[in-house]
Amino acid sequence: MTMVQDEDLRLLRDSVGTLLDRAGGLGRARRVRDDDTPWDAGIWQELAAAGVLGVAAPEEAGGLGMGLTAAGVVAEEIGRVTAPEPVVPTIGLAIGLMQRLCPQDPMLEAAIAGDVVLAVAWQERCATGLSDDIECRFDGTTLTGSKDWVVGASGADHILVLAEGPRGSVLVRIAADASGLLMQTRLQSDASELWGISFADTPAEVLAEGAQVTDALTNAVADTTALAAAELVGLSGTALVLTLDYIKTREQFDKPIGSFQVIQHRAVDMHVSQEVSQAAVREALAAMDQAGSTLERVRQASRAKARACTAAQKITREAIQLHGAVGYTDEFDVGLLLNRALVLSAWLGDAAFHRRRWLDANETEVAAQ
């Protein structure tokens, strides 16, 4: 990375961090949760005006063209304050799909500008869990079927849906208030929402179809997976800082507990886990910007997510324990961070899933040589 690029990333981090801190920092997540609102539309507009949503999109599509490395900087700052706005799903999935499949569509520019909010529905449920088959059907004008585990549907203006059409895979767009659309929500441990959506002859508009849809989805999911890893890095960094501050001030036997050697050893382990995961995720994002194949991008995304999940869960658990009994109370922010870490670690696959996928991708690459 050149000095100019490094300075650009520093300025981006400072800009996004300042914006989020001014909005309320970590405490805002609790206020939004208690107000029973999914996220703040005003903050969304400020993020869009700062170029955050288009940071990875090419300039010809209205973005900044800074790549996943810069998007990872944004994701870390989002994780640092557990901001509730669907920034990562929007950058990675919604904008990621549209910039690959329909870069001339006016709604891409509107999404980057924050004028419309898009959610993406591509996963389906079967009796054993996640289905490998797409049963949602598009007949040329309407959509029938269902999707599950949809993130960011709260407040969305349109939903991008993967379905099977007359000529294979198709990506369609439906309005959030379209007829025949039924949405059901489930709260997660951090109070964020997952949506199940069903369609009954719901009017839909084709954005793209054919094999390119599947390839674009694979790449967009890889991008989002790596950005979720970066969000975990930001989150675990905050958990580490809060814990270090606490053990310096909490006294036991008339001494700060941070003066005890056993506590110092645990704090060092947390610090090492954070540094290793941060370096691994940033390296993976940079490699994805340079990768020439979808397989390599998928492999790097899995590497990042597996490392970030392991570190974030270790650090947030340790943070709770080192805070003692107060760590379990809702008034202390480490609880927010732990719950968010659990949700993000499960989203798009946990550490065990991504280790297996990394090995499978490795074996596939070796067999192709």
Q: Are 219 and 212 in contact, with CB atoms under 8 Å apart?
A: no
Q: For the chain, list the domains and their CATH numbers.
A: 3-116 (1.10.540.10), 119-209 (2.40.110.10), 213-368 (1.20.140.10)
Q: Which amino acid is at 163?
A: A
Residues 215-237 have a mean pLDDT of 97
pLDDT value of residue 1: 54
pLDDT value of residue 366: 67
How far apart (Å, rounded) are the C-alpha atoms in residues 214 and 190?
31
What percent of the chain has pLDDT above 70? 98
Confidence class for position 95, pLDDT limits 50, 70, 90: very high
List the single range of 54-58, 257-261, 300-304 with lowest mean pLDDT.
257-261
- Asked whether residue 194 carries a pLDDT value surpassing 70, the answer given is yes
Confidence class for position 4, pLDDT limits 50, 70, 90: low
How far apart (Å, rounded) are the C-alpha atoms in residues 202 and 182?
10
Q: Are 315 and 274 in contact, with CB atoms under 8 Å apart?
A: yes
Could you give the dihedral angle defined by the CA atoms of residues 196, 200, 206 and 209, in that order, rounded to the nearest 10 degrees? 70
What percent of the chain has pLDDT above 90? 72
pLDDT value of residue 6: 84
pLDDT value of residue 368: 67
Q: Using CB atoms within 10 Å of the CB of residue 236, give its burial: 0 to 12 exposed, 13 to 18 middle, 19+ buried.
A: buried
Dihedral of alpha carbons 151, 12, 281, 80, sign? negative
pTM of model > 0.75? yes
Confidence class for position 2, pLDDT limits 50, 70, 90: low
Average pLDDT, the chain: 91
> Tell me: the pLDDT tens digits for 355-365?
999 888 877 77
Confidence class for position 39, pLDDT limits 50, 70, 90: confident
- Asked whether residue 81 carries a pLDDT value surpassing 90, the answer given is yes
How far apart (Å, rounded) are the C-alpha atoms in residues 362 and 177?
44
pLDDT value of residue 11: 93
Q: Are 90 and 53 in contact, with CB atoms under 8 Å apart?
A: yes
> Tell me: the pLDDT tens digits for 107-165?
999 999 999 999 999 999 988 888 888 999 999 999 999 999 999 998 899 999 999 99
pLDDT value of residue 115: 95
- Asked whether residue 231 carries a pLDDT value surpassing 80, the answer given is yes
- Asked whether residue 232 carries a pLDDT value surpassing 80, the answer given is yes
Confidence class for position 369, pLDDT limits 50, 70, 90: low
> Tell me: the pLDDT tens digits for 17-35?
999 999 998 888 888 877 8
